[in-house]
Amino acid sequence: MYVSVSNKCKGCGVCATLCPEVFDVCGSFVIANQEHVCGNEDSCIDAALYCPQNAIMIKEY
């Protein structure tokens, strides 16, 4: 799974709450592990679904 966060991110922290293994809030934006074999891919997908800015993009390998 490949995860990236666009510059639409406002740093609300929803993604880091749902999937802290992948997303880390840093000030007003989020750092996502670019390539991550997530232990719980469903939580990562939830983060993308619930991002209010629609800033999270996920691609399957």
Binders in 27-46 for ligand SF4, by CB under 6 A: 30
**Is the separation of the CB atoms in 10 and 43 below 8 Å?**
no
* Minimum distance, C-beta of residue 42 to ligand SF4, in the bound complex (Å): 16
Closest to ligand SF4 by CB, 35 or 57 = 57
* Minimum distance, C-beta of residue 53 to ligand SF4, in the bound complex (Å): 4
Query: Which chain residues interact with ligand SF4 by CB under 6 A?
Result: 5, 9-15, 23, 25, 30, 51-53, 55-56
